[in-house]
Structure 1
């Protein structure tokens, strides 16, 4: 018996009729995931020959689902990329302390650059510990206060100051990570401050992943958007070091890493020069090449110029650090599963027929390189953001079986939440709380690119309270994935996966998307306290004038 037959039917209310939602195809989910995560696709790294194969397959599936080309008569949007591959990476050396420190590439540190230049060299750059590296005027917090870091190397703690809280109360939202805790922010702020180099101290719990993930993600070819100026406004060197090596470095400088880390948690912390100097160098192989977002659309009937979005990233890491001789990071869950969900939803929506508004399906590139494909789309939208109603982003589906709860990542931000809650309740499920808010999930996937420019997108899915096994089983599955498969070659397709949880979530995504597309009075906004409310208000006002 197919799992689908055990699931409740969803009813979509539209004016004058009640429509049964088409069933989400488990066969589609399995087929697409298995295909895209096979070794034949070499881990789906952007701007490699594997991209062409990946894009062609997604286009074929969108065509078969009944979608129309979504980019001015074509299926793809070019995303200009520059690939930088660091070579001949010298150790990070620190001199001037009690003992010289030399950290080896890959095993003890990773280093790279955003700058598009053939060679990077830093010699004897004074090192300063800047705590969490945060400048937040609205919170009265400035780790760079009174400090000039031009020509200097800043060492930064991962996450934000109250990540060890047991609640979500605190200046930086307690246990929940804010954007100030993300590594992307820390490098951005260091560059704004003029730092020559920015080094984050890796610590598994606040980073939310082991150092092996840093090794696989930060070595080999690195992608960035190809923009005017070649990113020369960024720090020369960005990178990570392991906590144990940071502790040894601080000891060499006559400082106690643990004590300074504790001091950095409190308002008024002052940066500490370590009295040591950092040196490193490496060459860069540079290649410019466009990657592609794939876009299909189900045109609307009466309001075709308004759009509802579904998104998922198609890329993964490609060839990566081998484990037991396997050097392909297949990304079966991350995120072949999300693309499989995208195709399954496209099939269901086309079977239901056109809605009043258009429904667009975006398979975006280079999420693993810093949300680049979604960022490019948001900054160069095919469909104006002022006419983009909202939507759903999918990044890793649940293959552990049905869950009793549905968790909204970064809850408390937008009216999309008000729309999805009754849908969840109709499924007989409850709204759960984010199990690991310190991991900063809200800032780590493609919905964030849209959020920054005002478009509310749901990022939510099964929680850890599984129907079979409860919270203990769900939490164990999450931790097992993070520890053993996330961004590793072991993230491979498993024919034994239970897709019933994914189907239950996709039913919710279907219903939400259909409601947004059929009720033309709906224009979900951000809550007044959300940081994205102002840009949405300005965007909608501009759209109303067009």
Structure 2
């Protein structure tokens, strides 16, 4: 009974703007306009909208022009843009020599550009370190003296859940670089047994990083993912034996005297990217702010193919534009929201939630006055877990983690208006995909701002150049967007701001 009373109190706290007003304004969402804008955002001229590229700048300009056209105010002190600095790292030359035998960058080895320093490495000894892991559960390097040597290790980790962070990735590389530096190693060579298929895992010869990102150059040593060919040149007839014994916590005794040198030349260029902000001022609760967000960047052009990013995330971007238009029209009709709304389109999501991280680190409006973030990232398709028969769904993520009021609002709006199946699969903390941490809402949640993430799941074209506008289900997308509108309407017009009474992050 107490739960029911709490839900009713939550719903009754919605302002005097009527349910009829909400229904009337929700009808302002236009499917044809959604489709038109999505085709533009996912068009060839946007070149895949990769952060830091010409295509991303074009997309940002289109979004800003749209906000200006519908009458939204610039959201950043007179500008529609919130620029943030980037650094473009590029490899001009890199080569490894083992006893005079030359191995080339890309063909035989690679490395995370944002991690390695530009320096020449010369060593005369190599020592084997198993997986190169130093952890309370599993420590390969106890008793290993790597001072002045090359530390040779195998990529990956034992099949223990607690050690997955040491896996075959840039994060695992950085962990090894840090512990190798503490052990005094001159460099870390990580054997990648799948190198022939994984050599472009670090985006070729160019990568982009936030200018504020710490490279911790004093804490790490250079790290290289090497092919079996380099490993065999080093280990000789001991190579297969080392591979078989890599899982031992105490590595087999292998050290070898030989000549190794690494030379690399790198170039660093200053760039910038931008978030795009459209602002709609509220009425009597103007100082409080609701954010409606979506990332507009995607993967750009790779191997000559444009990654159009129609569902990911032109669908969310077009949705935010359409919501902005609907609320702007409502305000023009005297039905504007009580709280202000910031329509926030961020870049850098595909690279690591850069744009939303920058906004929450440099907020234009006080985070303490920000009542919620509604985030749309992929809402235009049907995923591989559903069929056209059961496509009337939307994944809801994060709605119950920080505020007890959000789920009742969302479920009530769905029951009365959208009538979608609300799927909470990805809201489960034990779900292996960890979707809650993988889109821009998370940077708001980290700052105790209640969020709801609307998501359609993973489809067969996810992060492929085949994610094109013709595959969007525009009717279903409109229906899903109606639910986002209803939630935004209620949150912006409540008498009381949403409580922050839970702390599951």
Structure-1-length-normalised TM-score:
0.69
Partner of 2:65: 60
Residue 296 of structure 1 deviates from its aligned partner by: 0.8
Contact 2:402 2:502 in 1 (8 A): yes
Answer whether contact 1:405 1:432 (CA < 8 A) is retained. Answer: no
Which residue is 1:313 aligned to?
295
Matches within 5 A, 1:329-408: 329-353=307-331, 354-400=336-382, 403-408=391-396
1:87 to 56, 76, 92: 92
1:369 alignment partner, SS class: helix
Q: Which residue is 1:420 aligned to?
A: 410
1:254–1:328 Cα change, 3 Å? same
Q: Alpha carbons of 1:461 and 1:199: their partners in 2 closer, same or farther (altered >3 Å)?
A: farther
Number of equivalent positions: 459
Q: Which moved more, 1:19-28 or 1:72-81?
A: 19-28
- The answer to whether residue 492 in structure 2 is matched with residue 517 in structure 1 is yes
Classify 1:184/1:259 alpha carbon distance in 2 versus 1 (closer, same or farther; 3 Å). Answer: closer
Counterpart position of 1:444: 438
Q: What aligned pairs does 1:103-502 form with structure 2 within 5 A after superposition?
A: 105-106=105-106, 110-114=110-114, 119-123=118-122, 126=127, 128-130=129-131, 152=151, 157=156, 161-162=160-161, 186=172, 189-190=175-176, 193=179, 195=181, 215=200, 218-227=203-212, 231-233=216-218, 235-237=220-222, 252=239, 254-256=241-243, 260=247, 280-320=262-302, 322=303, 326-353=304-331, 354-400=336-382, 403-409=391-397, 413-415=401-403, 416-417=406-407, 419-426=409-416, 427-434=419-426, 437-462=431-456, 478=458, 480-482=460-462, 486=463, 488-491=464-467, 493-502=468-477
What are the equivalent positions in structure 2 for 1:26-65 lying under 5 Å apart?
26-65=31-70
Q: Secondary structure at the match of 2:358?
A: helix
8 A contact 2:375–2:453 mirrored in 1: yes
Question: For residue 479 of structure 2, what is the aligned residue in structure 1?
Answer: 504
On the 8 A contact 2:278/2:342 being kept in 1, the answer is yes
State the SS of the aligned residue for 2:63: helix
SS state at 2:270 partner: strand
Distance 1:424 1:217 in 2: 42
Pick closer, same or farther for the CA change 1:342–1:158 going to 2, 3 Å. farther
Which one is further off, 305-314 or 230-239? 230-239
Shift in CA distance, 49/524, structure 1 to aligned 2, threshold 3 Å? same
Q: Structure 1 residues 462, 399: closer, same or farther in 2, change over 3 A?
A: closer
Q: Mark the runs of 5 or more structure 2 residues left unpaired by the alignment.
A: 1-12, 383-387
Deviation sequence 1:137-190 (CA, Å, 0-9, x none): xxx75768958888757655389944xxxxxxxx79xxxx9x898957545645
TM superposition shift of 1:194: 5.9
CA distance in 1, matches of 2:177, 2:395: 35
2: CA distance, partners of 1:88 / 1:285: 10
Instruction: Pick closer, same or farther for the CA change 1:194–1:442 going to 2, 3 Å.
Output: farther
Change (3 A) 1:122 1:71: same
User: Given the two structures, how large is their TM-score scaled by the length of structure 2?
Assistant: 0.74
Evaluate the alpha carbon distance shift between residue 241 and residue 293 of structure 1 in structure 2; reply closer, same or farther with a 3 A threshold.
farther
Q: Which runs of 5+ in 1 are unaligned?
A: 1-11, 163-170, 205-209, 264-268, 464-477, 533-546
User: CA offset at residue 314 of structure 1?
Assistant: 1.9
Question: Which one has the largest radius of gyration?
Answer: 2
In 1, the alpha carbon distance for the partners of 2:167 and 2:492 equals 35
Distance 1:343 1:88, change over 3 A: same
The corresponding residue for 2:10 is: none
